[in-house]
Amino acid sequence: MSPGIPRKITLATTSLAGCFGCHMSLLDIDLVLLDLVDHVEILRSPLTDIKTFNRQVDVGLIEGGVCNDENLHVLREFRKNCNILVSVGECAIMGGLPALRNDVPLQECLSEAYLNGPTVSNPQHVIPHDPHLPKILDRIYPCHELVKVDVFLPGCPPPAKAFFELIASVLEGKNFQLSRAATRFD
Ligand code: SF4
């Protein structure tokens, strides 16, 4: 990032069906974070514990795919409130590990988890159905199947360099293109 950039951008982040590893990678920018503090304001995010949007945000980072109706609500909220929506990591882009259940009917998954699994102890033989619980969808959906996604950051997780390049390109008003170094995982 060029020194002396006057602009400040706003950022929002969330984790849907993710493991927070992508958020950890974002924080792994290390000392560059100190440079970014002057240029980036993080609003709605688990990093700030701000849970609502109170204004339009420049960049929304989505970790994780969509596994329940609450995830879907949050994803739509991010799409509506973020100028640039970013699918971060393989779970958001392809469903990731949770998508292993996509070949198994939902009822079968629930029965295995709550009734028939080898470690299950459920004397009442009830699958949780409290109306306050998010409703599980028939399968895991990658984010771009449900809303328009503007940028994809591949990796599990994407390297810290990828986040930095994205933020720097938005600050500098350039079209974003990941460098080769940020898409190598060896
Ligand atoms: S892409 Fe990898 S690090 Fe990111 S949420 Fe999924 S499993 Fe975790």
Minimal CA–CA distance to 166: which of 43, 51, 22, 16?
Answer: 22
Statement: residue 88 has pLDDT above 70: yes
Whether the CB of 89 sits within 6 Å of ligand 1:
yes
Statement: residue 1 has pLDDT above 80: no
Return the best residue to mutate from 23, 91, 93 for the ligand 1 pocket (most ligand atoms within 8 A of CB).
91
Look up tokens 């898409």; give the residue.
183
Look at 79 and 28; give whichever has higher pLDDT: 79
Distance 49 CA to ligand 1 centre (A): 20
Minimal CA–CA distance to 170: which of 88, 43, 85, 92?
Answer: 85
Distance 185 CA to ligand 1 centre (A): 14
Residue-range domain boundaries for the chain: 9-100+138-183
Asked if 23 and 158 count as a contact pair (C-beta separation under 8 A), the reply is no
Taking the C-alpha atoms of residue 119 and residue 53, their distance in angstroms, rounded to an integer, is 41
Calculate mean pLDDT across residues 80-90. 98
Whether the CB of 90 sits within 6 Å of ligand 1:
yes
DSSP conformation letters of 65-82: BEEEHHHHHHHHHHHHHE
Asked if 168 and 1 count as a contact pair (C-beta separation under 8 A), the reply is yes
Asked if 85 and 98 count as a contact pair (C-beta separation under 8 A), the reply is no
Confidence category of residue 32, pLDDT binned at 50, 70, 90: confident
For residue 79, the model assigns a pLDDT of 98
pLDDT in tens, 147-181: 999 999 999 999 999 999 999 999 999 888 888 88
> What CATH superfamily is the domain 9-100+138-183?
NADH:ubiquinone oxidoreductase-like, 20kDa subunit (3.40.50.700)
Task: Tell me what the pLDDT averaged over the chain comes to.
Answer: 92
What's the number of CA atoms in the CB half-sphere (13 Å) around residue 57?
A: 24
Atom of ligand 1 at shortest range from CA of 96: 6
